[in-house]
Amino acid sequence: MLVMQIAQTVLAVAVAPLLTGMVRKVKARLQYRTGPSVFQPYRDLSRLFTKETVVAHNASWLFCAAPTFVFAATWVAAAQVPTISFDVALSPAAELIALFGILTSARFALALAGLDIGTSFGGIGSSREVMIASIAEPAILMLIFVLALVAGSTRLTDIAFFVASPSVGLRISLLLAFVGLAMIAIAESGRIPVDNPATHLELTMVHEAMVLEYSGRHLALIELAAALKLLFYVSLISAVFVPWGIAPSGGTFVQYIIAMTLYLFKLAVAAATLAFFEISIAKMRVFRVPHFIGAALMLVLLAALLRLVSQSF
Amino acid sequence: MLVAVTLFGVALLLATACFAALAGARPWASAAVYGICALMSAIGLVCAGFGIGAPPSVISLPLGLPTIGMHFRIDALAAVFLAVVDLGGLVASLFAIGYGRRERDPQKVLPFYPAFLAGMNLVVIADDAFAFLLSWEFMSLMSWALVVSHGRIHENLRAGLVYILMASLGTLLLLPAFALLAGSAGQFAFSAMRAHGPNSTVALAVLSLALIGAGSKAGIFPLHAWLPLAHPAAPSHVSALMSGIMTKVAVYVFIRIAFDLVGPVDWRFGMAVIAVGGITALLGVLYALMQHDLKRLLAYHTVENIGIIFVGLGLALVFRADGMLAAAALAASAALFHVFNHSLFKSLLFFAAGAVQNATNTRDMDKLGGLIRVMPKTAIAFLIGAAAISALPPLNGFASEWMVFQAIFLSSNLPQWGLRLLTPSCGAVLALSAALAAACFVKAFGATFLGRPRSDEAKTAKETDKTSILAMYILVAICVFAGIAPFVFIALLAPAVNLLTAGAMQVHPLIPWQPLVPVAGSHNSYSGLVILVCLIAAIAATALFVHLFANRITRRSDIWDCGHPEDNPLTQYTAASLAQPIRRVFASVLFHARETVDMPAPGDTRAAHFCVTMRDPAWDKFYVPPAKLVGYLADRINPLQYLTIRRYLGIVFLTLVLLLMVLAIWE
Amino acid sequence: MIPLVPDIAHFLAGLLVLLSFVQLYQSRLPPLISIFAAQSLALATFVAWQAQIQHAPHLVITAGITLIFKVMIIPLALHGLIRSLKIHRTVETVVGIGPAMMTGMALVGLSMALMMRTSAAVDVVVREDIAFALSVVLLGLLMMVTRRNAVSQAIGFMSLENGLVLAGTGAKGMPLVVEISVAFSVLIAFIVVGIFIFRIRERFDTVDIAVLDRFRGERP
């Protein structure tokens, strides 16, 4: 039990940069560029870890502590998602609301860190981040409500197990929830069209503006946390909507190998889809983002409504 | 026995008030009075602790109205609220031992403070309508005296006026509520009211009156208008008591009437309470986001938490009406736990705000900044309070909000369609307000403690005194403990919850690893302790990795800011600019927020101006029209002042005859 | 595989509602047309599926009509139209997206409640399909009310008609004559609207139908 939990915890942090690398690679290929190798994020991280860290004169302890906390919290959340095995020893400690709560804690710390130096870029990033988060939160809660209505539980392993069972079939509420969650994931992990992770020096940036003052090992931890957050959402979507292949608890070695292969395949598909979506859409104005997330909220509300009306949706 | 000891403590508090009035402004008076208050609150807290599991303890005193006397009683519910009141009183008094030293007019605060504490204690243990209303009015008056204690500031006098008007309104509505409960037989004791429940029409009237009457003191929308004016006006330890504790006493009154005295309650009323709670929560936090006065922000934020508590109570009423006792117990536990939690972190935040105000002489966040460097201990206390109130795991605010959400999830089993649709929407609203609360406290903490100081006062501020810090850290410790071991407190709440809903949550108070489970057999579990341990383990692993493999050299340098940092600290993001995106999204419709920019032409050296105007819908819709009506009526009635004596006598005579006629026709 | 049979019909019907919502959300014309084509494709699949499970071969014809006209010809023609009129970059909404989506939600709720009440005796799956169809019709109407542009109004109208076909084919036994007449009415409506768009474009140099009000002297 505990072994698989530790394995999935380590796996999360090990493949997170790979996912980011795959997204970048596919994106580059779609734009007729060669692009760096899919392992480039690992090289970037090791480079950042070996550089010295530059901190502003007036930075407080909060500024230096935030990266570690943000990374740790995101890691804890990402480790709770069943990726290759339903054996998640910690799952009784944190069902979905708590899982998103941990991510909210991480965001709270990062938004504060953005304000610590007292620069205008930090402020702009923090204020926009909390705005986007506050609109996404009701959509997330309704999403959890829909999943609880479908699966009868808000524990992630239960939901995944339920969807994997043959009794589910095609459910329109699950389709709506899927679209809603995909939109939430894009907004929350700061991808185009809500935010652009590849940009600096642009007034529309959100996450990158918050972390502008960071360098060296601090920046490495924050980049890794961002990669983990993307991985969290991709794993969440694959666990909730395509849980097939995840090894049952107490599975055999072969099952784990299959699960691992399938998981990497799912990540590749998700990376390709995300990259395709990102190159075919333009970045939104900040004040269009509420519409985008509002639409996600409407979709999950519709799913909840349908599900409340009849069990067959 | 317990109630006698509590009453004895109350009597001592009243004696302390007299003593303080005599002692006046002598330098030792402050420490002595607050010391005694702390001691008395500690006694009350012990009594409450014993009262939680014990059978009701009753006493009747031959005071007050001749045939009735005054009854006092501590049952499980009263004990819970007594604990909230006295814990709050204890830490507030501790805080005030240091904080009160810098009070300019101690003789205007000291006599009323113990009396205010006594009043709150009495409301909670009152067991008949007369004792209750008397204590309630006493509590209101004493708190009013504290609000206007810094009367030199004009704003405070206006706050006092609005407050006393709203307090009178509250009492005015509770009076007929109790009259209806007492019935024609005039049974003023609560036990008699319990014995013969009113019929459904009367019950609905009583409940509505109680909701508005107690709600006006608790601060439900739109009756909250006095609260952000009055709470910041008082000295900070009193603000903490008013915002953290007195609002809970009002919640107690609502619970006592709606769950205990009225008997079975129709689900439609519970639905109304849920709706009112949802609206209150959302608007409260939006109001709070628009503030730049630190204490006013905290006061508005109380409105949000009251909304959450009322959602929990409404859910409990609904579940109880439909016979879902386990769910009702969950909702009631959530509401009571949030009552307790909010009293902790709201007091904590007000203490920290008071420390900031004392150190810098301002509450305006646009003049603060960078205090984390000069007041590190206060900053940590405020940070933990902010994280707790923003419902971040693994702290206590998250635990109680989590329980509310789980109760909302259970609503899909309710038989009524309206509720099944309303409750999830209310859940979405609560999620929105929780996220906005986080935004609000990013703003409050960021503008006050982070960044560069925006004024000399903020730059040269000194850390506050040791007893104040002790008081804050007691609360921090309880917040963290209640977050990682909520089951201890839920087990303590169980007798009260059992009283309210005839059910209780299944918890064992002594197993530290157990997760919180909403209803028996559910898989939706949460454990703050495990999350905290995981977080610590992850942090330790990260730190170890950095220690072993990363370059650990840290160089201090200038600010980067994309290459063009601005030296003037006034160019930083302010409280208003932090809230600007949220203001544009929500407030432009709700509060009619409008921005006007006056930019001089190039070459013109005149300063540019940026101005945000907002209108408060509550004032516009609910307060201005009645005020206009009253003014109009007063103008009409004004001529009556200038009549001859003969006409006055005529009016008196006519009134008498009219009343006699009514009496004749009535029977 | 038997339990999956009503599921797929349901799923497709729900997909139609979802695409109606996407239409409401989309304020630019070219994607709007593509979404309409996607919705029609979902409808064609639904009808073909119904033909399978109801053993009604005439429904295949309906599916074919939908596929040829609504998935291919009309969207292509519309794309050509807006390109030739140079209005393919237009962004327009009258009511904001938020309120429109909220109203849409309320309309779906309304049609659910209505169907639950009026057709309690009917088979559950059919009843819910009809509720979906009514939602699509209402959302199409909502689209026509909230949009200013004649092209998006036309799309709203055709999306409404998709709802009618959904209702007709979801239940058993709708005669082919009705199908064909409905299909042709849409075609005629499309032609009329197309000519209409050209005419107002020629005369007023815009396709904003608000100018017609002015022309009629209703507005100054």
Q: How many CB atoms lie within 10 A of CB C191?
A: 11
CA distance C29 to chain A (A): 15
Using a CB-CB cut-off of 8 Å, the residues of chain A touching C112 are 305-306, 309
Using a CB-CB cut-off of 8 Å, the residues of chain A touching C124 are 310, 312
**What six digits make up the tokens of C147?**
């949009």
Q: Going residue by residue through chain C, which has 220 residues, state the pLDDT in tens, using 9 for 90 and above.
A: 345 566 788 888 888 998 998 888 888 888 888 999 999 999 999 888 888 887 877 788 888 888 888 888 888 988 888 888 777 676 666 667 778 888 888 888 888 878 777 666 666 667 778 888 889 989 988 888 888 777 787 888 888 888 888 887 876 666 655 666 666 666 667 666 776 666 666 666 666 666 666 665 555 4
Q: Which residues between 100 and 129 in chain B have a beta carbon less than 8 angstroms from any beta carbon of chain A?
A: none
Which residue among A171, A301, A309 sits closest to C112, beta carbon to beta carbon?
A309
Which residue among A112, A131, A304 sits closest to B445, beta carbon to beta carbon?
A112
Q: Which residues between 234 and 273 in chain A have a beta carbon less than 8 angstroms from any beta carbon of chain B?
A: none
**Cβ partners under 8 Å of residue A98, min gap 6:** B393, B398, B402, B526, B531
Whole-number Å distance between alpha carbons of A245 and A260: 9
Query: Residue A309 and residue C10: Cβ atoms within 8 Å?
Result: no
Q: Of B383, B425, B442, which to mutate for an interface test with A (greatest number of A Cβ within 10 Å)?
A: B442
Task: Determine contact: C21 vs chain A, CB below 8 A.
Answer: yes
Query: Residue A312 and residue C15: Cβ atoms within 8 Å?
Result: no
Which residue among A57, A75, A131 sits closest to B558, beta carbon to beta carbon?
A57
Task: Determine contact: B416 vs chain A, CB below 8 A.
Answer: no
In terms of domains, do B346 and B439 share one? yes
Query: Residue A123 and residue B527: Cβ atoms within 8 Å?
Result: no
Residue identified by tokens 């945000």 is B612
Chain A to chain B Cβ contacts (< 8 Å): 277
Give the residue from B449, B476, B504 where a domain finishes: B504
Q: Are strands B57-61 and B554-557 parallel, antiparallel or unpaired?
A: unpaired
Whether residue B365 lies inside any domain: the answer is yes
Using a CB-CB cut-off of 8 Å, the residues of chain B touching A57 are 556-559
Using a CB-CB cut-off of 8 Å, the residues of chain A touching C128 are 309-310, 312-313
**Model confidence over A2-32: pLDDT tens digits?**
888 999 999 999 999 999 999 999 999 999 9
Which residue among A179, A290, A312 sits closest to C128, beta carbon to beta carbon?
A312
State how many domains chain A has. 1
Using a CB-CB cut-off of 8 Å, the residues of chain B touching A125 are none
Task: Determine contact: B562 vs chain A, CB below 8 A.
Answer: yes
Query: Residue A213 and residue B560: Cβ atoms within 8 Å?
Result: yes
Nearest to A299 by CA among A156, A191, A133, A142: A142
Whether residue B489 lies inside any domain: the answer is yes
Using a CB-CB cut-off of 8 Å, the residues of chain A touching C108 are 302, 305-306
Which phi and psi (to 5°) does residue C202 adopt? -60, -45
**Model confidence over A210-232: pLDDT tens digits?**
998 999 999 999 999 999 999 99
Q: How many CB atoms lie within 10 A of CB A146?
A: 28
Q: Of A302, A308, A312, which to mutate for an interface test with C (greatest number of C Cβ within 10 Å)?
A: A302
Task: Find out whether B112 and B103 touch, Cβ atoms under 8 Å.
Answer: no
Using a CB-CB cut-off of 8 Å, the residues of chain C touching A298 are 21, 101-102, 104-105
Whole-number Å distance between alpha carbons of C220 and C217: 7
Which residue among A49, A56, A127 sits closest to B549, beta carbon to beta carbon?
A49
Alpha helices, DSSP H only, in chain A? 2-30, 40-50, 61-79, 96-116, 120-151, 156-164, 172-188, 207-210, 216-241, 253-279, 289-309
Q: Which chains touch B (3 or more CB pairs under 8 A)?
A: A
Using a CB-CB cut-off of 8 Å, the residues of chain C touching A299 are 18, 21
Task: Determine contact: B513 vs chain A, CB below 8 A.
Answer: no
Q: Of B534, B544, B545, which to mutate for an interface test with A (greatest number of A Cβ within 10 Å)?
A: B534
Record the pTM: 0.91
Query: Residue A121 and residue B435: Cβ atoms within 8 Å?
Result: no
**DSSP secondary structure, B519-567, as one string:** STT----B-HHHHHHHHHHHHHHHHHHHHHHS---EEEE---GGG---S
Query: Residue A294 and residue C101: Cβ atoms within 8 Å?
Result: yes
Side chain identity, residue B657: V
Whole-number Å distance between alpha carbons of B298 and B293: 9
CA distance B173 to chain A (A): 36
Expressed as residue numbers, the domain containing B654 is: 620-666
Query: Residue A153 and residue B522: Cβ atoms within 8 Å?
Result: yes
In terms of domains, do B360 and B494 share one? yes
Which residue among A170, A176, A301 sits closest to C18, beta carbon to beta carbon?
A176
Task: Determine contact: A5 vs chain B, CB below 8 A.
Answer: no
Q: Between B396-409 and B376-389, two packed helices, what is the crossing angle to 10 degrees?
A: 10
Whether residue B553 lies inside any domain: the answer is no
CA distance C4 to chain A (A): 6
Whole-number Å distance between alpha carbons of B193 and B190: 5
Q: Are strands B554-557 and A53-56 parallel, antiparallel or unpaired?
A: parallel
Q: Are strands B70-74 and B57-61 parallel, antiparallel or unpaired?
A: antiparallel
Angle among Cα B591, B595, B599 to the nearest 5 degrees reads: 170
Query: Residue A155 and residue B525: Cβ atoms within 8 Å?
Result: yes
CA distance A279 to chain B (A): 27
In terms of domains, do B610 and B629 share one? no
Task: Determine contact: B549 vs chain A, CB below 8 A.
Answer: yes
In terms of domains, do B311 and B366 share one? yes
Query: Residue A118 and residue B450: Cβ atoms within 8 Å?
Result: yes
Query: Residue A54 and residue B566: Cβ atoms within 8 Å?
Result: no
Expressed as residue numbers, the domain containing A208 is: 2-309
Does ipTM exceed 0.90? yes
The pLDDT score that the predictor gives to residue B275 is 95
Query: Residue A118 and residue B369: Cβ atoms within 8 Å?
Result: yes
Query: Residue A313 and residue C13: Cβ atoms within 8 Å?
Result: no
Whether residue B424 lies inside any domain: the answer is yes
- Using 50 as the pLDDT threshold, list the residues of chain B that sit under it: none
Task: Determine contact: B657 vs chain A, CB below 8 A.
Answer: no
Q: Which residues between 335 and 364 in chain B have a beta carbon less than 8 angstroms from any beta carbon of chain A?
A: none
Whether residue B247 lies inside any domain: the answer is no
Give me the mean pLDDT over the A287-306 stretch.
Answer: 88
Query: Residue C105 and residue A301: Cβ atoms within 8 Å?
Result: yes
The pLDDT score that the predictor gives to residue C2 is 44
**What six digits make up the tokens of B308?**
């959450």
Task: Determine contact: C133 vs chain A, CB below 8 A.
Answer: no
Task: Determine contact: B584 vs chain A, CB below 8 A.
Answer: yes
In terms of domains, do B3 and B138 share one? yes
The pLDDT score that the predictor gives to residue B87 is 95
Whole-number Å distance between alpha carbons of A212 and B561: 7
Give the residue from B504, B537, B552 where a domain finishes: B504
State how many domains chain B has. 4
Give the residue from B231, B248, B274 where a domain finishes: B231
Query: Residue B572 and residue A50: Cβ atoms within 8 Å?
Result: no
Q: Which chains touch C (3 or more CB pairs under 8 A)?
A: A
Residue identified by tokens 């009343």 is B659
Residue A205 in this model has a pLDDT that exceeds 50: yes
Whether residue B290 lies inside any domain: the answer is yes
Query: Residue B526 and residue A217: Cβ atoms within 8 Å?
Result: no
